[in-house]
Structures are given as structure tokens and as C-alpha cells.
Structure 1
Amino acid sequence: MDIAQALAVIDELCARAFPARRTAAGAVGSGPGYWTAEWGVGRDLRQADAADREQARTQYEADRDALGERLTARWGPPQRFGLYSLFERAVRGEALAEPWGLLGGHVPDVQLWRSDRAGRWIALGVTHEDGGLPQALVAVVTDVDPP
């Protein structure tokens, strides 16, 4: 993954107006109040052996951390935000504001920054294997506060 290119994508999403309606794209999509970007979604590892899946997960986490270092230089240390409780709440039928409900179903935790200049949250996470979607590094830019 090209870190400079990923930063440029995040910058663009911080400046761009949000879409008027939800669009499906990979694990989380985009919609009113949020944009997403994904890296690695073209690499479907569902049929790969455990060692290859683990190697891919390790690489996505390394890419997340490298990108996170650049974002930390801009906005300070991230908050670590676990999303498993959001998944549990959604399973119990609670309606969660997007993109948090979608993220909770696919990403176990995120690194989270607040850009006061843009008035937006930036979250980075790695999707878990759920049998239906390949692993990927996910960035979300939103003006919806975390629950």
C-alpha cells in the first residue's frame, strides 16, 4: 500500500461533501454523514490457507499502523475504540447511527482521530474474517460522533 496515496484519499474525504444516500462498497459502503475507503479488497483470501490469511492480516495491520503514524503527526495520538459492543447492540436489535453500526459488524476496533479543522472523525481499522468478505484495511471519515 502506498501511504502517501492513502493520506491523499483521506484528505480528499475530509474535504468532500457527504453523499445524499447510502452506496454499497465492500465491507461498509458510504452514505449520509460518512465516506469510506478500503485497501486490499481485491485480494480474496477466503480460499487461502491459514498462514496466508494470517500474513495478509499482519500486513493490513502494519499498513494501518504506518498510516496511523502519519495521522498522529497531524492530529495527535488516536483513541482506541473497540467496536464489539456495537456489534452486540445491533444483534439485540438496537439501531445504531451509521457508519458505526456497519463498522461494528466488520471491524473489531479502530484507531480514531478528530480533525477539528474539518469537523470530522477519521477511523482506521482492519476487517475481520467473517466468511463473506475478504480482509481489508478500512478508513472512515464521518461527522457522526461515535456512540
Structure 2
Amino acid sequence: MDTTRSHLTAIERLCARPFPAQRCVEGRVESGPGFHLAELDAVDGLWGQDMSVVQDAREEFESELQVLVQVLTYRWGEPERTRLTGRLERVAKGEPVPEPLRTLSALVGEVYAWRVEGRWVGLGITREDDPEPPPRLQLFAAIGEEDVR
């Protein structure tokens, strides 16, 4: 897994980066008008693995997420903890959901979010409410315009 320091650096860079006029992908970052969505870390090959392997990987990601939350809470104050199920349901009904929450709601069950200098900053890991292990476990950072809801 990448280090906490590299994750924080990536988050800081995303917060400072302007939003592009057109949707684009650069490496592990998808950006578009009003948002950036970055995969900070990932583990592949979990599909069909013993559940203990999957659980160990999830625990590592949870630990890294909690460290990031602690550091960012120190910097920016207490985060909002938001379940994304409602946004996923709105997407399924064809209702508008702004990015990055539209994409993030299909991947992550819950985010820790802060409002920072006119932007919304969220962190989360791949949802675990599916009965099967995910083929890919991911740690995400999302940056959006402040009015993301």
C-alpha cells in the first residue's frame, strides 16, 4: 500500500488543481467539470479469495482511512460522515446527482467529508455490503465543488 504521506500529498494536489472543462482521466484520477475522483490505493485479485485474505486487506484499508481521517480532522475539523445509499438510489431512478457523488455512490458506501476553501473533500473505501468479495478493493479521495450534495 502507498504511504499516508503520499496519500496526503495527492489529496493536497487535488484540492489545489483546477477542475477541467471536459471529463478526462489521468492515471488513477478522473476529473471533470466540478470534480476530481482519485484512486489513492487498490488491491486487485480478491475475487474468489478466501474471506480471511479479503478481510485482512479490508482491515489495512480501514486503518489507512482512519489515519487519513485523523490527520485531516486535525487540519480541517470534524468531518461529516455520510452514507451514499440515498444518492445511489437517486442515480438508479434517473435523478440528477452531481459528480463526484454520482460515481462515488456506486463504489463507496460511506464517506468522510470536509468543506475546505470552497471545495468538498471526501474519503472512502470500496463498499462491503455485497455478499461476494469485491474484485478490487480501493481507497478513494473525491474533490468537488462546495455545493456537492
TM-score, with structure 1 as normaliser: 0.87
**Partner in structure 1 of residue 11 of structure 2:** 10
Answer with 32-41 or 134-143: which moved more: 32-41
What amino acid is aligned across from residue 19 of structure 1 in structure 2?
P
Shift of 1:146: 2.9
Are the counterparts in 2 of residues 97 and 144 from structure 1 also a CA contact under 8 Å?
no
Q: Which 5+ residue runs of structure 2 have no aligned equivalent?
A: none
Structure 1 residues without counterparts, runs of 5 or longer: none
Cα distance change of structure 1 residues 48 and 29 upon mapping to structure 2, 3 Å threshold: farther
Residue identity (%)? 37
1:120 aligns with 2:119: yes
Residue of structure 2 equivalent to 1:49: 50
Q: TM-score, normalised by structure 2?
A: 0.86
Residues paired across the two proteins, number: 145
RMSD of aligned Cα (Å): 2.3
CA contact (8 A) 2:113 2:120 kept: yes
- Which residue does the alignment assign to 1:66? 67
Q: How does 1:18-29 map to 2 (within 5 A)?
A: 18-24=19-25, 29=30
The aligned amino acid for 2:121 is I
3-state SS of the aligned residue for 2:31?
coil
Q: Structure 2 vs 1, CA of residues 8 and 26 (structure 1 numbering), >3 Å: closer, same or farther?
A: closer
Asked if the contact 1:34/1:144 (under 8 Å) is kept, the reply is no
Offset at residue 16 of structure 1 (A) = 1.0
Instruction: Give 2:102's aligned residue.
Output: 101
